């Protein structure tokens, strides 16, 4: 009957489809039977597969996709899925929610298809906004711009949120210069021919793009469009401007070479110009705030304060007046530069008599917080008015209930470091939450004790800090232990007055302090020795090996300092020690010698040979100095002799620096 093979194949396929549909309607065949699987395979020209758990809906069988021989077996293409979704979605809100769900699952293709197909019959601007936001969050600026242009071609009118998403995405772009060009062009287009005029949110978003690039010219060009009430600058606008001006100076390339770098004099002039310009802008901020047309918050105050920190002494001193003006925290006046009582800065002081706009709200002051506390502490540190730090700290924490963060604690410790206040440093570290303490904080506090070495209580404060570190072995730090031992040596200066009358008694008292320091250091030294890894690491990674080698060098340098201190006590101040103390010191010193010897002989034999050569050379210099009797020749060799003593003295800072350089 059928002579043509194509006709025979076509007739067989039609019979197969008709039989499958009829048997499914009458229930004669189950979907799990072998015959139904055969029919399903023949109907789609696909090899037979196991569809035991498959469920085929009747409307799927009747659809054109199921009858198409080129479609998948179940018709689950992205285009088919998008059309199926839209059969049950008609409201733009529901479509936008479905697009958001698809994007949350990173199914951008399905979300885009749903949006494009829905755009034929509905206004789905929110869905397009979701697509734009998805692209920009992943740094696809070109893809987002293409979507925006496609959106307009499909007669989907952008709304204010559309432009906000684009501008914010440009501010976060990894290609800021390209993003600035697109944002600037789009903003100017909104001003000239756009259906939606930009508001203050769009203005601030574009300013952030300019701030990220550091293009102040474009920033102030855009600010000229803020004459409209819709784009009246707010606190975020001025905050962005101040931060951009500060970052422009901080990121200025220094060096003064031919590569476009600025010299010190140019940077100084740029800084002075920035501070002066910021003060002029602040006058505008202050005027608008006094009339009630602008709200000042902590972020804006700190942005202005950070610019003042770049200025001279008077500019930094004006930060206290700025805080008093905007937060009502009264400053304590100190002697000014001219010896008279300092007064409020004329630049920052607001007018006493204020004419407010009719109906304007009352003036509200900024609420103090962690940022402003760090600002005032840094200002006190730079002006060295450190005695006022505790007053501000108590006002912020007790009256305004500001909970200090890690940066606040660090700033407080730095203030006490500059002020050489070992007692406050130790107390601050005690009050600091243990979860926030890091080796940096302990090191700053110990440095404050070292700077306060003329105070006889400094050693007790340093011991308190050492005990705090001992409670948490994770913050054990070799430089901190080195500072503690250095303080024990430097505390000899506090006995200068006693040494004038009783030299032996004063030296014996100092020897007791050094002995106590060594006793306190022994356990922490063992902790850092184990932590820094005296044993070879179980890895071949070069970075890990370098870190381990550096840690070993620091531990060995500390061991040499401790060993030298033991030698000083047992050789020069044995009379002030008991027999039990001397025996213990010699035993511990022997263990230190073993660590040092093993390090140089086993781990670094080359450095050991160099050490011997350097020591021999220094011995020769000393022998020559002792042999030569000519006074003129002795005078010429004073520098050499001094350098030799510094090199041989294991307690000297010069030895530590040179030794670390040779090892590293």
* Domain end among 53, 74, 95: 74
Task: Give the pLDDT band (50/70/90) at residue 351.
Answer: low
- For residue 305, give both structure tokens: 């304060």
CB-based contacts of 327: which residues, under 8 Å, 6+ apart? Answer: 298, 301, 365, 366, 367, 368, 372
pLDDT surpasses 80 at 653: no
By residue range, what is the domain housing residue 156? 80-251+265-295
What pLDDT was estimated at residue 9? 65
Confirm whether 444 is domain-assigned.
Answer: no
CATH of the domain at 136: 1.25.40
Query: Is residue 146 in some structural domain?
Result: yes
Q: Are residues 289 and 159 in the same domain?
A: yes
The full length of the chain comes to 664
Task: Give yes or no: residues 41 and 104 share one domain.
Answer: no
pLDDT at site 239: 95
Say how many C-beta atoms besides its own lie within 10 A of residue 514's C-beta.
21
Query: Would the pLDDT of 368 be above 90?
Result: yes
118 and 177 fall within a common domain: yes
The pTM score is 0.71
Position 603 confidence tier, pLDDT thresholds 50, 70, 90:
low
Average pLDDT over every residue of 372-390 = 94
Return d(Cα 253, Cα 255) in angstroms, integer. Answer: 7
Q: Phi/psi at 341 (nearest 5 deg)?
A: -65, 130
Q: Which two tokens stand for residue 9?
A: 């194949």
Residues in contact with 213: Cβ distance below 8 Å, sequence separation at least 6, in sequence order: 176, 177, 180
Could you tell me if 60 and 187 lie in one domain?
no
- 573 or 623, greater pLDDT: 573
Sign of CA dihedral 402, 403, 408, 414: positive
Confidence of residue 497 (pLDDT cuts 50, 70, 90): confident
- Burial class for 245, CB neighbours closer than 10 Å (0-12, 13-18, 19+): buried
Confidence (pLDDT) at 545: 67
> Would residue 225 count as lying in a domain?
yes
Judge whether residue 179 has pLDDT over 80: yes
47 with 150, same domain: the answer is no
How far is Cα 180 from Cα 332, in angstroms, rounded to an integer? 45
**Is 380 within the bounds of a domain?**
no
Single residue among 48, 74, 100 that ends a domain in this structure: 74
User: What per-residue confidence (pLDDT) applies to 394?
Assistant: 93
Question: Is there a single domain that holds both residue 50 and residue 101?
Answer: no
Q: In this structure, are residues 417 and 447 in contact, taking their beta carbons and an 8 Å threshold?
A: yes
d(CA 658, CA 663): 9
Residues 6+ apart with CB under 8 A from 617: none
Q: How far apart are CA 460 and CA 479, in angstroms?
A: 19
Residue 405 has pLDDT above 50, yes or no: yes
Give residue 377's pLDDT. Answer: 95
pLDDT exceeds cutoff 60 at 320: yes
Average pLDDT over residues 373-386: 94
Q: What digits encode the pLDDT tens for the residues 524-571?
A: 998 888 877 655 555 566 666 677 778 788 888 999 999 999 999 898
Smallest Cα–Cα separation from 525: which of 489, 485, 570, 468?
485
Tell me: do 154 and 193 sit in the same domain: yes
Q: What is residue 364's three-state secondary structure?
A: coil
Q: Per the domain annotation, does 363 fall within a domain? A: no
Handedness of CA 532, 538, 539, 545 (dihedral sign): positive
- Tell me what percent of the residues of the chain surpass a pLDDT of 90: 38
Q: Residue 262: beta bridge partners?
A: 254
Residue 466 in this model has a pLDDT that exceeds 90: yes
Q: How confident is the model at residue 227 (pLDDT cuts 50, 70, 90)?
A: confident
Average of per-residue pLDDT across 106-113: 90
| Mean pLDDT along residues 75-103 | 82
Check pLDDT > 70 for residue 495: yes
Residues 269 and 248: their CA atoms lie apart, in Å, by 13
Residue 134 shares a structural domain with residue 27: no
> What CA–CA distance (Å, rounded) separates 288 from 656?
58
Same domain, 182 and 33: no
- pLDDT > 70? residue 61: no
Q: Lowest-confidence range among 297-311, 374-388, 414-428, 490-504?
A: 490-504
The span from the CA of 609 to the CA of 385, in Å, is 51
What is the predicted pLDDT for the residue at 626? 44
Residue 469 tokens, joined: 């570190």
Burial of 579: CB neighbours in 10 Å, binned 0-12, 13-18, 19+: exposed
Q: What is the pLDDT of residue 341?
A: 36
Percentage above 70 pLDDT, the chain: 71
DSSP 439-491: HHHHHHHHHHHHHTTTSTTHHHHHHHHHHHHHH-GGG--HHHHHHHHHHHHHG
Q: How many domains, in total, are found in the chain? A: 2
Q: Is the pLDDT assigned to residue 76 strictly greater than 60?
A: no
Residue with tokens 């406050």: 424
Predicted confidence at residue 420, as pLDDT, reads 93
Residue ending a domain, choose from 27, 52, 74:
74
Whether 124 and 169 map to the same domain: the answer is yes
Query: Whole-number mean pLDDT of the chain?
Result: 77
pLDDT reported for residue 493:
86
pLDDT-wise least confident of 171-175, 332-336, 651-655? 651-655
Do 135 and 42 share a structural domain?
no
Chain centroid to CA 552: how far? Answer: 29
Residue with tokens 């030698």: 567
Question: Beta partners for 341?
Answer: 335
CA distances from 512 to 83, 116, 508, 569, 573 (A): 88, 85, 6, 9, 9
**Domain contains 258:** no
Judgement on whether residues 64 and 100 belong to the same structural domain of the protein: no
Task: Indicate left, alpha or beta for 477 from its phi (over 0: left) and psi (-120 to 50: alpha).
Answer: beta
- pLDDT reading at 224 higher than 90: no
276 pLDDT more than 90 = yes
Q: Please report the sign of the dihedral spanned by the C-alpha atoms of residue 232, residue 276, residue 183, residue 302.
A: negative
Task: Name the more confident of 193 and 609.
Answer: 193
């Amino acid at each position: 009957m059928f002579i043509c093979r194509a006709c025979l194949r076509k007739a067989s396929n039609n019979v197969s489809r008709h039989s499958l549909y009829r048997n499914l309607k009458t229930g004669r065949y189950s979907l799990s039977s072998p015959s139904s699987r055969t029919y399903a395979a023949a109907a789609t020209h696909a090899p037979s597969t196991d569809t035991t758990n498959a469920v085929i809906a009747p409307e799927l069988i009747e659809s054109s996709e199921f009858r198409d021989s080129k479609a998948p077996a179940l018709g689950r293409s992205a285009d088919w899925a998008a059309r199926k979704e839209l059969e049950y979605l008609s409201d733009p809100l529901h479509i936008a929610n479905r697009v958001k769900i698809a994007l949350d699952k990173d199914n951008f293709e399905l979300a885009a298809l749903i949006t494009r197909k829905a755009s034929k019959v509905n206004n789905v601007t929110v869905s397009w906004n979701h697509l734009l936001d998805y692209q920009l969050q992943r740094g696809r600026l070109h893809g987002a711009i293409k979507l925006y242009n496609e959106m307009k071609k499909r007669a989907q009118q952008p709304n204010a949120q559309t432009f906000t998403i684009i501008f914010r995405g440009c501010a976060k772009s990894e290609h800021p210069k390209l993003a600035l060009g697109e944002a600037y062009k789009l903003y100017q287009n909104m001003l000239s021919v756009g259906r939606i005029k930009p508001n203050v949110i769009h203005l601030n978003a574009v300013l952030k793009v300019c701030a990220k690039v550091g293009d102040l010219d474009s920033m102030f060009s855009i600010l000229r469009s803020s004459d409209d009430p819709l784009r009246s600058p707010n606190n975020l606008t001025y905050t962005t401007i101040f931060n951009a001006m500060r970052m422009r100076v901080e990121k200025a390339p220094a060096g003064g070479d031919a590569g476009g770098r600025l010299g010190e004099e140019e940077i100084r002039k740029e800084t002075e110009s920035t501070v002066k310009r910021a003060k002029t802008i602040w006058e505008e901020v202050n005027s608008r705030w006094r009339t009630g047309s602008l709200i000042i918050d902590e972020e804006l105050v700190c942005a202005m304060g950070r610019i003042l920190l770049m200025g001279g002494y008077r500019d930094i001193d004006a930060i206290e007046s700025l805080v008093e003006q905007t937060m009502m925290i009264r400053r304590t006046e100190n002697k000014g530069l001219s010896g008279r009582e300092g007064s409020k800065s004329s630049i920052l002081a607001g007018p006493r008599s204020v004419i407010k706009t009719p109906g304007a709200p009352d003036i509200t002051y900024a609420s103090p917080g962690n940022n402003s506390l760090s600002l005032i502490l840094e200002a006190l540190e730079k002006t060295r008015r450190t005695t006022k730090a505790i007053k501000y700290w108590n006002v912020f924490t007790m009256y305004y209930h500001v909970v200090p963060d890690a940066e606040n604690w660090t700033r407080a410790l730095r203030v006490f470091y500059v002020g050489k206040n070992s007692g406050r440093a130790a107390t601050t570290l005690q009050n600091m939450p243990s979860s926030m303490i890091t080796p940096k904080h302990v090191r700053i506090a110990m440095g404050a004790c070292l700077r306060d070495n003329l105070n006889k209580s400094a050693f007790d404060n340093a011991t308190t800090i050492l005990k705090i570190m001992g409670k948490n072995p994770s913050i054990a730090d070799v430089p901190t232990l080195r500072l503690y031992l250095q303080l024990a040596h430097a505390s000899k200066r506090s006995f200068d007055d006693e040494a004038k009358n009783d030299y032996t008694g004063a030296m014996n008292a100092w020897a007791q302090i050094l002995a106590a320091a060594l006793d306190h250091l022994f356990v922490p030294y063992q902790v850092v020795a184990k932590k820094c890894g005296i044993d070879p690491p179980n890895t071949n990674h070069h970075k890990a090996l370098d870190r381990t080698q550096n840690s070993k060098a620091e531990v060995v340098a500390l061991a040499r300092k401790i060993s030298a201190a033991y030698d000083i006590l047992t050789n020069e101040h044995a009379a002030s020690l008991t027999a039990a103390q001397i025996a213990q010191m010699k035993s511990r010193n022997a263990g230190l010698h073993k660590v040092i010897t093993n390090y140089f002989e086993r781990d670094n034999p080359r450095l050991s040979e160099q050490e011997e050569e350097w020591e021999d050379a220094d011995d020769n210099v000393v022998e020559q100095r002792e042999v030569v009797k000519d006074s003129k020749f002795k005078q010429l060799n004073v520098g050499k002799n001094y350098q030799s003593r510094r090199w041989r003295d294991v307690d000297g800072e010069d030895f530590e620096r040179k030794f670390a350089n040779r090892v590293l």
